[in-house]
Structure 1
């Protein structure tokens, strides 16, 4: 797929990995449509991209709300033209052990609210946005691409029942959609990042960060741009479909 003038929607695009992908794809000629719930951060991100010479626009939406998703994809098509791609990047964390107990006494359990919040954004949001994007690209006759952001945590990770389940679901959706949508000229693939340099890791204590890094064979965290380059590869290579690419420095959870 040619990225020049391609309209690419990016959920969670106002910061972190989403913004990094917008910069990288924008430099390759794409026109990013940033989707985020934070209007102020969205304006800041769009201004940053525009200052870099990238044709970008921002759209406020809640990816976990069906009506909001339907409306935002209609707005993107109206404001920027036919959609060529989607990066399902939006996600949240609400970590916690399933059951925390000591000396046979349960002290705390993972709350249903924490479970549901992560499932709503990280899995249902992917479903809603993927469905809307696929429908739009089919109706407009675009040979488009959907890239889902999963995680190596999809294999299971302590303290992340909700997150791991959601990211495993995202991986399964990628394979399913890759098989279903190919007949319509659409491709679907996913990237499963390992530990990446983000605002969250930057705020960690140095000793905790050192311990985290020590478990990665290449002895460092990944850079956001390394995830963006992998996403760009998926867009560029027309034979990549229905697969999850791990970008984790050799780490396996």
Structure 2
């Protein structure tokens, strides 16, 4: 895919990985549809993209709400005339043990805590991926869908909900690659390791230290390193149905 004047939608575009992806793709000449629940954060990303001379529009949306997602992707095509790519980046953390015993008392992860992560990370990815595919097909735009997974998809202590969601979005990508190829749509996923983002900053210091000690390259990843991988997938037309692990060598 030639990124110049291609239209790429990015969820969770207001900060961290999403913002860096938007700026990186803007550098390559892509036009950006920036999606996030936080309008103020979106405005900051939009400003950075406009400074690079590309068209960038913002869309405030809760990716867990079907009607909102349907409307937003319809609006994107009305505003840009096409849709060539989607990065399903929106996600949250609500870490906790499945069960925990303290002073003889057993506590457990609540269904609300589990569902909150599944709703954003998995259901949101499903809804946005589905609607992006619909718009790509209806506008006859060959396209690419990239899901952001995580090395936690292999299972990680204290992340029952997050690990489950990230394993699922990786599987969605491989499934979509097979289903959507007939329409000229590729799909892939990226499984980042420990990356310096606001989300990672939410982790407990002891958990972060434990993870950093496991990374063979000796440091956390940079947001630019993940954003450059997104750009690589868009530009390499032979990548589909694969999960790229960008993790500094860590294996959970």
Distance 1:229 1:62, change over 3 A: same
Q: Distance in 2 between matches of 1:53 and 1:23?
A: 11
TM-score by length of 1: 0.95
Q: CA deviation at 1:40?
A: 1.5
Alignment partners' CA distance in 1, 2:229 and 2:58: 23
Task: Tell whether 2:46 aligns with 1:46.
Answer: yes
Contact kept in structure 1, 2:99 and 2:109, CA below 8 Å: yes
> In 2, distance between residues paired with 1:200 and 1:146?
22
TM-score by length of structure 2 reads 0.95
How do 1:219-238 and structure 2 match up within 5 A? 219-238=218-237
Instruction: Please identify, of 39-48 and 198-207, the stretch whose mean Cα deviation from structure 2 is larger.
Output: 198-207
Find the counterpart in structure 2 of residue 247 from structure 1: 246
- In structure 2, C-alpha distance between the alignment counterparts of 1:91 and 1:233, rounded to whole Å: 22
Give the 5 Å matches for 1:128-143. Answer: 128-143=127-142
Question: Cα distance, 1:80 vs. partner?
Answer: 1.7
Counterpart of 1:99 in structure 2 is 99
Structure 1 unaligned spans of 5+: none
Deviations 1:147-168 (A, max 9, x none): 0000000010011111011111
Instruction: Give the distance between the partners of 1:225 and 1:82, measured in 2 at CA.
Output: 27
C-alpha RMSD over aligned residues: 1.6
Whole-angstrom CA distance in 2 between matches of 1:96 and 1:239: 39
2-side partners of 1:83 and 1:177: how far apart? 17
Match of 1:190 in 2: 189
> How far is the alpha carbon of 1:41 from its aligned partner?
1.4
